[in-house]
Each structure stands twice: as structure tokens, then as C-alpha cells.
Structure 1
């Protein structure tokens, strides 16, 4: 039984920076195959640049195309399920599916669609990532151009026009597993910290708020790709932004303030544990540890006493998912988890809590 393919839903209003974030992600996918499903309302020209190499920038509904870097792109309207089925029927299945939605319609129906029998056995919801325009939110708006967001909504007959934008924004935050404050480079450290705190207060418990500038976020923070892969787990300790290669180079701090937000840095480590006896209790314990230590992502495999199959565990903020995926084979029957968070995780405390 092959492992399920994780699917990440990225939502946020027009202009929040979703396309920039996704373009950065595709450029840094390191050979992983990402399927991209775009469900943006109205004029797809907004996403035109991400679909460069598509041949036809409108990417007709029935087209599923390979982009030059091994990504697949298609647009979905009412055909989400057939699109997913077509994608899953391909011999060269993607490693990860990313679904970009406009933030004008709520992601809940989309998330429910993953329970469709043909899909639920093959795909798992990795998480809902909500992107917000940091500058706009700091100034008390929801989007850089609220009029454009309203116009996009009015142009679409399939969505509810009654709900105020403020409520749609609250709903986006309420269903997020991770919130990305984009355009952090336009804010002072203080403004950014206040905005991030305010967003965290409005979100569900354990939802992590991270910041990015120009859509730059490490791929394994955004998608968790590459964590949980047994082959390269030991080698991975730090997840850094590319502009932190030279830590001592802080002389230009003032001119280049937006390149040196400390919270742009993330770290990861591996915890190895013996077999577990009760998957439900273990999941509950992991959930509590994630909440207590502000863990962004946790992913890996557990050996369950008496079960030949390994249990895959993955969590993004408060969302935790586990399922048996494949037999252990000849590998050691042990539990190995990768933990990712913003720099400053209390590794010793997290290891102790997981082992308790």
C-alpha cells in the first residue's frame, strides 16, 4: 500500500502573496514533484506568471500540464474530484499536492472533499496555510486593495456575497493550521511582532504564525516535504533561510533590516523512540507537546507493538493525522519523529516529553 500523498491548501485574499509564495516554493522544490491546483476566482491572469511554461496561460479546465520543473497545473471549478482522480491515476504521481484557493470561498467544503472514498485512501490533508498581507493587517485592513477583493467577489456568481469581508478574513484565520504573515519586510520588528501576536490570538490554539518577505519560506516549513524521509533524516538539523548563511554579517542591519528578522529562522531535529503500545494515546500526547512547545510541524513513523505496519504521523499546528502506511520490512522497529519549529525550540524538554 503506497504512502498517502499530502495535500496542502493555501488560502488568503487576492494580493496577500500566495502566488509569490508558491513560485518560491516551486523554484526550491529540490526535485520533488508538486502538483498545483489553482482555484482562484475571476481572471486567472493574476496567476499567469506562476503558470509560465504552461503554454496557454489560462490553463483550460481539462488540462493537466507538466511545467518545466516537474509540476502539474490545472484549474478547478466544480471538477475538483475528477481532477484529483485524474492526478492520482497518473503513473508518475506527485510527491505533494498544493491547492491554491482565493480566500473568497471557505476552505471547509474543499477539506470535506478529501473524505471522498476514492481520494481519502490516497491523499491526506497536510494542512491549511492562510497567507495574509502583513502591511494591510497592521494598518487595520484585510488586503492591500480591499476594493479589488470585493470586485473579484462580485464577479463570481457561485459564492455568497452577503458575508462581510471581515468575516471571511476571520474564517480564513479560524480554519488555518499555519498563518503566514507576508510582506514582513514592510514592517518594523515591533509592528511585525504585534501583528503576529494579534493574529495568533484570533486563531485556534497551537496554530503557529510565521513571517515571510517576498514569499520566501523554506519548503519544508511550508509543506513539510523532505521531513520524515528516512534516508536523509540524520543529515538534517537546521532549516535556514538562504540569507542567513553568514551569521556574522550584521553590519548592514539598518539598511537591510528586512533580511535579518531573527524569526525567519527555523530548526529541526530527529527524536528516536522505542515501539509505542497505544497509537491514540500517543497522538494525544504529541498534540499536547505541540501545543506546549509551539511546534510548527512534526512528522515521522511509529512502530506499534504487534503491528507489522508502520504508523505515519504528521502534524501541522493543531492538525494531527496518523495512518498505517506500509510494512517496516527489514528496517529497525522504532519510532522516529522530525520536529520543526522556529529557532529556540527546547529540544531537551521536547525529547523528554515524547519519551515519557
Structure 2
């Protein structure tokens, strides 16, 4: 029976939209519900998993947080996700709910389809797919797509490649959703929110629910218990990748368009200068996303840094562990042609 299945919520959204913040808030307001987390990172430093472990929520114990760091979850479903789910379901004490946070570069559709796997479908159902949107970024035009203008440019110069992997990913994440969270609404006007809402629906055939949030503060009662059974509706959520294959076009979904690397150095003596330097490096090299932990002399707690575009958020999350090296470690994510050597050099210089 459907009621005997464990509900699973897939949380997707572009880099820096606020998925981890949303989950932190959910865990701290879970009211006794035991939640298992499966987190898919892009890059080798498990920032999101470490941040969630430090939130102190009873709803999610240490052994209920599982990180998949072998690549994008949509490309490693058979190798990583299916075995992880099977191990989770084989436990004597099973969770009340499963939350899956995809990387910002993942297509949700292959993941949702994986819930039709015979060993999983009888035990778990997709309660819903939630897409978190960075309202401020969209309002600034970073992920808006003027199709008519692009078509005109193609007609004018067929030697130019105007295809945007970022636009395509963003639209695919919206297409798969049952609930869209327009996050960071405090950074834009009410008029901008309505414009974003209208633009989203102009690109979708389906009509998912839309809510507005600030700082990822959405009640678990709103996010959990949607009861959609999204895996049974996968045919209506096709990605660009799937549609292009149906049309006979050759298109590989890989992440050659994106690169990530880790920069590690010592403590940061000047926090204000550090953040100003980060802004300059991000702007100069068009870094999509930067996140990690910062050590500061004389500070017993580590500082979490999350940056998307020119916006940088930082806060102290927990004391450094006795066995931890107090070092600054940052993950940098950008397009494949970013100048890694210059970015690495610039960031390391900020630790002086």
C-alpha cells in the first residue's frame, strides 16, 4: 500500500539557491520526525554535509547523513544512488522521511525515475520534488532566457554558440518540480517576485505550486507530506537531454562545462579584507559558486562562507574540533575555462 512506503523529498536548485539553508531550517523544526539525508556534492569538499552535521538537530543523527561525492547524482544513479538507498532501507531502524539534496548541476529527472527501480518502488515513494530558486539572481537576469533574442542571434551568425548550459539546467530543475520555493525574497521587490513567477510559468507546461521564502525559512509542514508520487509522473517531466534524444539529436549530459577545485591555506587575519578580496576575485573570474570554511586567529569557532555571484554570506557555525586542523578550505565552482591558477593564487594571497 502507498501508505506503507517511506516518503522521499528531492530538493534541487541551482548553485547557491539556498538548498542547505532550507534543509537546516527543516531539521530544526522537524518535531520528532526522524529524517535521513542523502547529499550530493559537486567538488570534493563536503561542505553541505559538514554544515548540516553541525546544526545540532535531533531529527537527523550523524549516521543518517550520507554524502555522495563521486560525481553528479544524475549521472551515477546506478553506481551510487541505488546502492545507497538499498543500504538505507536494509537498516533495522528506518527513517520516517528521506531528504535528497542534489548538486546544483544535477538533472532531477533521472533521479526521480530511479524510484521506479524494482527494489525501491515497493518501499519508497517520491513525496515531491522541491526546486529552490535564488530570486535575487533571477531578478538580476543571471538565469533569465530570452529565446526570441537567442534565435535572432543564431540566424544572424550561425558560427556563434549561444547555447547556455546554465539556462538549460535551470529550466530542467523547474520542469521536474512539484513545489517551487522562490528563496531570498527579502533581496528583491514584490514586483520582481511576481515577474519571476510569470517568467517561470511562461517556460513550463506543468503548473507546480510556488511559495516565497526568506533565508530558507519554510515550515516542514509545507515542504513534507505533499504526497505526489512524482515517480509515476516522470513522463511529464522530461529534460532537454531526454527530448533531444527523442528527436534524434546527439547530446551528452556531462559536466565538462563546469569545473571545481579546492583551495586550502592558513588562517585569515583580516575578515573584512578577505570578503572584499573574495568579491573582487569572483567578479573578475565570473566564479559561479564559492563555499567552504575559514579559520581566523584567536577565534575558537570556524566561519562558514557561502558565495553566489557578488553576494557573500558568512557565519560561525561551531567550535573547531580538537583533532581538526584549523585551516581555510574553499570549493570554487565555475565554467570550464575559468583561470584556476589565477583564482588559486588570488585566494591564497587573501590568507596572508
**TM-score normalized with structure 2 length:** 0.53
- Specify which structure has the higher proportion of helix: 2
Displacement after TM superposition at 1:137 (Å)? 0.4
**Distance of aligned partners of 1:47 and 1:70 in 2 relative to their CA distance in 1, 3 Å threshold:** closer
Aligned match of 1:351? none
Q: Which has the higher contact order (CA 8 A, sep 6+)?
A: 2
Aligned match of 1:261? none
CA distance in 1, matches of 2:194, 2:85: 39
Displacement after TM superposition at 1:120 (Å)? 0.6
Number of residue pairs aligned between Structure 1 and Structure 2: 203
CA distance in 2, matches of 1:169, 1:79: 24
Deviations 1:52-81 (A, max 9, x none): 279xxxxxxxxxxxx743441001243211
CA distance in 2, matches of 1:215, 1:40: 19
| Structure 1: 5+ residue stretches without partners | 55-66, 144-161, 225-296, 298-313, 322-356
1:73 to 65, 89, 107: 65
Displacement after TM superposition at 1:222 (Å)? 0.8
**Distance of aligned partners of 1:124 and 1:46 in 2 relative to their CA distance in 1, 3 Å threshold:** closer
Aligned match of 2:139? 138
The alignment status of 1:99 with 2:89, answered yes or no, reads: no
Contact 1:37 1:100 in 2 (8 A): yes
Deviations 1:152-193 (A, max 9, x none): xxxxxxxxxx96211111111111111111001111111112
Contact 2:24 2:55 in 1 (8 A): no
1:45 to 27, 31, 47: 47
**Distance of aligned partners of 1:8 and 1:40 in 2 relative to their CA distance in 1, 3 Å threshold:** same
**Distance of aligned partners of 1:69 and 1:223 in 2 relative to their CA distance in 1, 3 Å threshold:** closer
Pairing 1:192-207 to 2, within 5 Å after superposition: 192-207=193-208
Q: CA RMSD in A?
A: 2.6
Contact 1:200 1:208 in 2 (8 A): no
CA distance in 2, matches of 1:176, 1:53: 27
SS at match of 1:171: helix
CA distance in 1, matches of 2:205, 2:10: 17
Aligned match of 1:353? none
CA distance in 1, matches of 2:217, 2:92: 31
Contact 1:180 1:212 in 2 (8 A): yes
Contact 2:125 2:229 in 1 (8 A): no
Moved more, 201-210 or 98-107: 201-210
Aligned match of 2:228? 315
Displacement after TM superposition at 1:319 (Å)? 7.5
Runs of 4+ more than 4 Å apart? 316-321
Aligned match of 2:264? none
Displacement after TM superposition at 1:315 (Å)? 2.9
Pairing 1:146-295 to 2, within 5 Å after superposition: 164-224=165-225
CA distance in 2, matches of 1:164, 1:15: 16
